[in-house]
Structure 1
Amino acid sequence: MPRPAIIRFLSGAFAPPFNGLVVLVWVFFVWCFAIHPDTPILKGAFADSDDMIHLVRIMDWLQGQDWFDPVLHRLNPPEGTVSHFSRLAELPLAAIMWPLHQLGLSWQAAAYAAAAVWPLALLGFFLMALRWAAQGLMPRDWAGVSAFVALFAVPTLSQFSPGRVDHHGLVLLLIVLALGSVLRLMEGQDKTRLAIATAFLLASAQVVALESLLWVLMLAGWVGFWSVLKGRIMALPTMAFAASFYVFSALYLMLSVAPSQYFVMTPLAYSGLYVVLSAAVALSLAVGALAAYRCNASCRIVIGGSAALIIGVFFFRHFPALLIGPYGGMAPDLATVMMGNIGEALSAVRRAENYAQLVGLLLAPLFAFGVSLYFMLKADDEKLWRWVLLSLLLLGSLFLMTFYQVRFIRYAALFSVFPMSALLWKGWLFTNLRWQGHRLAFAKVGLILLVGPLLAVLIPANCDGQPLDRRDLLFPVQNTVETPCPPVAVWQMLALPDYYGDKPRLIMSTMNEGAGILFHTPHQALAAPYHTNVVGNMDSKRFFSTENSQDAEKIARARGVDLVLLCKPLPAIYRDNRAETMSLAELLVNRNIPDWLVPIDFPLFENALLFEVRPVSAKTLPP
């Protein structure tokens, strides 16, 4: 008697070649967000201001803003703020939003719908890409198990949450595809077409998100290293990669900025600087590839290494700001304010409140790094260098998250998927040979826990000192919103014509509320957490941080502020650390309101505070 279709599907999902496991992981991921009571998008909120800014940029473009105009004109008017995001990465969202708006939805409603759908579609592509890339390190029949392991790579999969429309999910997909392509380039055959595809993927990752720069350089450098190591057989693919990488980078510049901006060399957004960097990489690789035609291994190493060193020194001597990454060109004052107070911009060492939390952050990727080293030491000649590459990627991401910025944990978790998947494969075969009966069952359960929830969810959950709760059972939901601030009532009052939506107004807020002002209302904002908005953010910082309300009034009058908006509790940068004084923000929270501000009270405002600036005619300027 044939088994029911659902039984056949489940049997295939949990046994090699694991067909259907991607679907089950995707369904579980969506289910967690659907039933979690604090899923941000189900409450009309977003987990990150970047998501709203992407949607604002798309709405502005679809309503007539020029493709090559990167300025957010309502942020820090009248100059506006140059956005570093890529319109190319926003095209899929625009393709969803435009027809929905044509069918009658408001732009905001269309944006919510697109934000709910697109990350989940991207997750499906990502899980399939992981399986494809894993085939370079393990048998094809076992590569599908990477979907199960990836489910517990929580920092990585959180970038595919409903509502998470920032570029991180897309760039993670591109890096996985590029890694899979590089692994196939190492199979020893002439792979010229694959080399061109790899160049396209790396150039795409670079234009989508500048944070991918390290992985782009490491994978491009590995192509050059492999050319030097293998000689003539890799010369043509490497030349094709070098030329294609430069051509694609230049093409992306033409698609991203106006012709008048081609020669602007800024590290803060995709610019001619990154095309010059691509040219430097291409030249280094080309020299090494040419040496492969004429030299033995030692000669190739000397020539290729010397070329990379000389060209690298020359490049960074002219562009030293890029040595510390895309944020190297930030204004120093703003860098001090933002990088010291944005959680993901802190290193793991600084962010962890105690050693237990630090262990919780580092345990899973450190264990995966150890597993990768084990496979590297045990690998045969064919697989040895593949594990060397993966170990280097893991080491780089571990170092960056520990000592630079904890945001690189998403890459540490990503690269951890491969050794942990291989561990499940090897461990499964080992237990089948060594044990039987109950011992075999216990061994397999332990192995599944080890590569999945134990290191990535259960132990870190116990390191925060809190009891296990729904946050841990529904672990894919990492970013939650219990009570959005500002709540919907604030946005409605600011947007409705009968209240404050009758004309555009300039709103002074902390950085946290700026993106919401632009997305939910027709008004202008001064502050938002973007490194290109120097003047607006610093004016907001001075306004809320001063203990002298007259100084704050001067700033408000000089900028033409109409309304003041903030939420409690206050971010640390707006609080006065001296016990005997309070900043203006603290005074407002404590209802100690200067006479040039009029409080706007409404029962549904909850933790939000809204004030109207009295007109000059109703309040004399301070001397």
Structure 2
Amino acid sequence: MNDAPALAAGGQPPVRAASSGDIGLSPWFTPVRIALIVWGLMSLVAIGAKWHAIGALELADTDDAMRMAQVRDLLAGQGWWDLSQYRVNPAGGGVLMHWSRIVDAPLAAGILLLKPLFGQTMAERIVMTLWPPLLGAALSVACVLGYRGLSDRRIAYVAPLFLIMSAYIVAQFRPLRVDHHGWQIFLAMLVMAQALRPATWKAGVLGGIFAAALLAVSIEGLPLVALFAGLAALRWALDGRADDRARLCGYMGALAGGALLIQFATRGPLGLSGTWCDSLSAPYMAAFVAAAAVTFAAAGINPGRASIRFLLLGAAGVSAAGALLWTEPQCANGPFATLDPIVVKYWYRHVLEGQPLWMSGASDAIHVLIPSLIGLVGAILAWRSCTLAADRRNWATIIVALVGTAALSLLVLRSASTAHLFALPGCAWLGLRAWAWARTIASTVPRILASVAAALTLPLLGSMAVATLLGPLIPSMKAEAMAAGEEAATVNPYKENCLDSVALADLDRLPATTILTPIDLGAPLMFWTRHSFVATPHHRNKEAMADTIRIFADDPAKAEALARKQQATLIVYCRTANDFGKYRDARKDALAAQLYAGTPPAWLEPVPIASRAGLSVWRVRPAAK
């Protein structure tokens, strides 16, 4: 039986598996309600687990701190289109951030709404606590709606359980995690959901709009956007179907038009003319417009031979690359190509989420790879079991997307969350089959063992099982476990930044000035104080980042001149922080080593502050006249 006519007419695939009643649930328990209940319960547990951190506003990532600094500036009157951070590198006039107002908007709106009731500080705490789980609830609903059309409809009922057992995804929706990574995952799911719908112009347009929004949030989504464009193009090139042609044109047109509109709405005229390589800008929009124009021309010609369609669509890809390089040739080298080598050495190579998987430990590699492998096995088996063409196409979409994002996660660790998102349906399909098989076993012990095996299709449990089995066999994992044990035995919540409340209060009471800190300390201090900072861990401020590292880790004879060049009047550091440790190990006579040894140069004088954790403050003496 072929369901193509019904799908071409815009109908939904026929129901092939269970309804809520068929799986033993009341009809009230729809997939969406189950998704909200499961995610809500998990979120309550997460809020309880982080209650102390919420009360103290202990942010786990420097980007969360910088995000809130950006939101505060917006609420204080900084222009919607002005994304400059003027408290970073004030000597250079501030830093134009590469972030998007799409992420700022709900945070600012929530604080603005709650501030009259609770005050600024409590409003921020409430929004930072609740917004990430609320966005995660939207993701959970998007998952069940996006995957409900697969060959086994039960997947939509169990997908929420598999989602909350995907650690790399859930981590981006925990309380206080207000940066853009959750948005990336959510928008990627919306793009996937449209790719799984029957091929229509509307599905293509919606997919293209969501893809444009994803790129506006982060240009890191470009490989994913290109993958779905390539998949849509491949389907039309192979079969020449009118519905596939409509989807492709809708996607490419909405991607090009949506990128222009969203960019103007969130960044203004400068967003349309800027030529940045690390965010959506003119070079990328030129590429989308060129690709869309050639795609529309190919669709208008509508050649009957597959070889001609492939040739024309290949020309669309070439035109996109040509437009990108013609507009800004530097983008061919990537967004970090212009970083100073010293910044690459002491900062970028240590941002593990942006590094290849092999830069991480064996345990991390297992937790990245296993969910994708389970999902891929399940998706392939599901594809092989399908009898309807539409079902096979949907599973093929998932397989291609999963293979692409899993390969990307090998090169960029933070892509693992999107790969695991696309692994969910394969994991769920495999888990449902394994559970059903286990229930048919008459003997108690074998049935229990088979049920445990079925539970291992849950991403987190499967990864933990593999890590437990391989741990004794891999020396590096033994060393990781020992180091983790030693770390747990020596509990020091202030080790990485020394930000105890007493020290922060004392530092904030000092007259507002420009502070030089190690790279990773700048953003948290921006969140907690009124001061400005020479550098934070944000790559557009590349010259000041390089100066900062040279002051701490390079020739001490040049440190004073560089500090005065950056107009820093205070130097603040945490003796136990990792980056400060790297600076003082760089050379024995560097400023960081001198400060650690208690032998500061003559151009610095101590500033006493009350600190339980060892935050050190030094004043730059006035220059001799």
TM-score by length of 1: 0.85
Cα distance in 2, alignment partners of residues 357 and 74 from structure 1: 35
Partner of 1:561: 568
Once the 2 structures are TM-superposed, how far is the Cα of residue 118 of structure 1 from its aligned partner?
A: 0.5
Amino acid at match of 2:61: D
User: Structure 1 residues 238 and 558 mapped into 2: Cα distance closer, same or farther (>3 Å)?
Assistant: closer
Partner of 1:105: 119
User: Structure 1 residues 88 and 579 mapped into 2: Cα distance closer, same or farther (>3 Å)?
Assistant: closer
Choose from 603, 615, 618 the match for 2:622: 615
Partner of 1:541: 549
User: Structure 1 residues 288 and 218 mapped into 2: Cα distance closer, same or farther (>3 Å)?
Assistant: farther
User: Structure 1 residues 46 and 612 mapped into 2: Cα distance closer, same or farther (>3 Å)?
Assistant: same
Cα distance in 2, alignment partners of residues 16 and 258 from structure 1: 45
Number of residue-to-residue matches in the alignment = 587
Cα distance in 2, alignment partners of residues 185 and 329 from structure 1: 44
Report the more deviating stretch, 215-224 or 591-600. 591-600
Cα distance in 1, alignment partners of residues 311 and 383 from structure 2: 25
Amino acid at match of 1:262: L
Q: Deviations over 1:336-362 (max 9, x none)?
A: 54321222222111222xx56544442
User: Structure 1 residues 308 and 138 mapped into 2: Cα distance closer, same or farther (>3 Å)?
Assistant: same
User: Structure 1 residues 445 and 288 mapped into 2: Cα distance closer, same or farther (>3 Å)?
Assistant: farther
Once the 2 structures are TM-superposed, how far is the Cα of residue 45 of structure 1 from its aligned partner?
A: 1.5
Cα distance in 2, alignment partners of residues 407 and 531 from structure 1: 17
Cα distance in 2, alignment partners of residues 319 and 395 from structure 1: 30
Partner of 2:598: 591
Q: Is the 8 A contact 1:178 1:201 kept in 2?
A: yes
Cα distance in 2, alignment partners of residues 171 and 260 from structure 1: 23
Once the 2 structures are TM-superposed, how far is the Cα of residue 325 of structure 1 from its aligned partner?
A: 4.6
Report the more deviating stretch, 526-535 or 317-326. 317-326
Q: Deviations over 1:18-40 (max 9, x none)?
A: 67543453244334434437964
* Secondary structure at the counterpart of residue 145 of structure 1: helix
1:236 matches 2:246: yes
Amino acid at match of 2:232: V
User: Structure 1 residues 13 and 594 mapped into 2: Cα distance closer, same or farther (>3 Å)?
Assistant: farther
Choose from 46, 49, 66 the match for 1:36: 49
Once the 2 structures are TM-superposed, how far is the Cα of residue 511 of structure 1 from its aligned partner?
A: 1.1
Partner of 1:511: 519
Partner of 1:351: 360
Amino acid at match of 2:259: S
Partner of 1:216: 225
Cα distance in 2, alignment partners of residues 580 and 68 from structure 1: 43
Partner of 2:180: 167
Amino acid at match of 2:600: I
Cα distance in 2, alignment partners of residues 451 and 34 from structure 1: 23
Partner of 2:279: 269
Once the 2 structures are TM-superposed, how far is the Cα of residue 452 of structure 1 from its aligned partner?
A: 4.2
* Secondary structure at the counterpart of residue 58 of structure 2: coil
Cα distance in 1, alignment partners of residues 115 and 583 from structure 2: 46
Choose from 113, 134, 138 the match for 1:125: 138
Partner of 1:89: 103
User: Structure 1 residues 528 and 147 mapped into 2: Cα distance closer, same or farther (>3 Å)?
Assistant: same
Amino acid at match of 1:30: S
* Secondary structure at the counterpart of residue 594 of structure 1: coil
* Secondary structure at the counterpart of residue 533 of structure 1: helix
Structure 1: gaps of 5 or more residues = 1-7, 473-479
Partner of 1:226: 235
User: Structure 1 residues 433 and 17 mapped into 2: Cα distance closer, same or farther (>3 Å)?
Assistant: farther
Cα distance in 2, alignment partners of residues 223 and 445 from structure 1: 39
Once the 2 structures are TM-superposed, how far is the Cα of residue 65 of structure 1 from its aligned partner?
A: 0.9
User: Structure 1 residues 605 and 556 mapped into 2: Cα distance closer, same or farther (>3 Å)?
Assistant: farther
Cα distance in 2, alignment partners of residues 429 and 348 from structure 1: 35
Q: Deviations over 1:589-609 (max 9, x none)?
A: 232222332223445341322
* Secondary structure at the counterpart of residue 515 of structure 2: strand
Partner of 2:558: 551
1:395 matches 2:425: no
Q: Is the 8 A contact 2:35 2:140 kept in 1?
A: yes
Report the more deviating stretch, 31-40 or 191-200. 31-40
Matches within 5 A, 1:487-526: 487-496=500-509, 500=510, 503-526=511-534
Choose from 141, 145, 149 the match for 1:136: 149
Amino acid at match of 1:592: T
Once the 2 structures are TM-superposed, how far is the Cα of residue 526 of structure 1 from its aligned partner?
A: 0.6
Partner of 2:213: 204
Cα distance in 2, alignment partners of residues 333 and 568 from structure 1: 21
> Alignment RMSD, CA only?
3.3
Cα distance in 1, alignment partners of residues 529 and 541 from structure 2: 20
User: Structure 1 residues 199 and 491 mapped into 2: Cα distance closer, same or farther (>3 Å)?
Assistant: same
Matches within 5 A, 1:154-193: 154-186=167-199, 191-193=200-202
Q: Is the 8 A contact 2:353 2:412 kept in 1?
A: yes
Cα distance in 2, alignment partners of residues 388 and 198 from structure 1: 17
Choose from 329, 338, 341 the match for 2:347: 338
Q: Deviations over 1:540-582 (max 9, x none)?
A: 101111352x422222223221211111324357636879724
* Secondary structure at the counterpart of residue 136 of structure 1: coil
Once the 2 structures are TM-superposed, how far is the Cα of residue 92 of structure 1 from its aligned partner?
A: 0.6
Choose from 304, 318, 327 the match for 2:313: 304
Cα distance in 2, alignment partners of residues 288 and 73 from structure 1: 47
User: Structure 1 residues 171 and 39 mapped into 2: Cα distance closer, same or farther (>3 Å)?
Assistant: farther
Once the 2 structures are TM-superposed, how far is the Cα of residue 399 of structure 1 from its aligned partner?
A: 2.4
1:571 matches 2:584: no
Cα distance in 2, alignment partners of residues 185 and 288 from structure 1: 22
Structure 2: gaps of 5 or more residues = 1-20, 472-476, 486-491
Matches within 5 A, 1:349-428: 349-352=358-361, 355=362, 358-380=365-387, 381-402=389-410, 404-428=411-435
Amino acid at match of 2:95: T
Q: Is the 8 A contact 2:428 2:457 kept in 1?
A: no
Q: Is the 8 A contact 2:287 2:320 kept in 1?
A: no
Cα distance in 1, alignment partners of residues 245 and 56 from structure 2: 55
1:247 matches 2:257: yes
Q: Is the 8 A contact 1:508 1:563 kept in 2?
A: yes
Cα distance in 2, alignment partners of residues 212 and 579 from structure 1: 35
Q: Is the 8 A contact 1:575 1:583 kept in 2?
A: no
User: Structure 1 residues 580 and 425 mapped into 2: Cα distance closer, same or farther (>3 Å)?
Assistant: closer
Q: Deviations over 1:121-143 (max 9, x none)?
A: 11111111111122233433431
Once the 2 structures are TM-superposed, how far is the Cα of residue 17 of structure 1 from its aligned partner?
A: 5.9
Partner of 2:88: 75
* Secondary structure at the counterpart of residue 184 of structure 1: coil
Q: Is the 8 A contact 1:253 1:275 kept in 2?
A: no
Once the 2 structures are TM-superposed, how far is the Cα of residue 83 of structure 1 from its aligned partner?
A: 0.4
Cα distance in 2, alignment partners of residues 54 and 578 from structure 1: 31
Partner of 1:5: none
User: Structure 1 residues 261 and 414 mapped into 2: Cα distance closer, same or farther (>3 Å)?
Assistant: closer
Once the 2 structures are TM-superposed, how far is the Cα of residue 195 of structure 1 from its aligned partner?
A: 2.0
Amino acid at match of 1:281: A
Partner of 2:540: 532
Partner of 1:279: 289
Q: Is the 8 A contact 1:541 1:573 kept in 2?
A: no
1:54 matches 2:64: no
Partner of 2:588: 581
Q: Is the 8 A contact 2:147 2:156 kept in 1?
A: yes
Partner of 2:455: 448
Amino acid at match of 1:552: A
* Secondary structure at the counterpart of residue 106 of structure 2: helix
User: Structure 1 residues 400 and 582 mapped into 2: Cα distance closer, same or farther (>3 Å)?
Assistant: farther
User: Structure 1 residues 578 and 18 mapped into 2: Cα distance closer, same or farther (>3 Å)?
Assistant: closer
User: Structure 1 residues 488 and 417 mapped into 2: Cα distance closer, same or farther (>3 Å)?
Assistant: same
Cα distance in 2, alignment partners of residues 221 and 283 from structure 1: 15
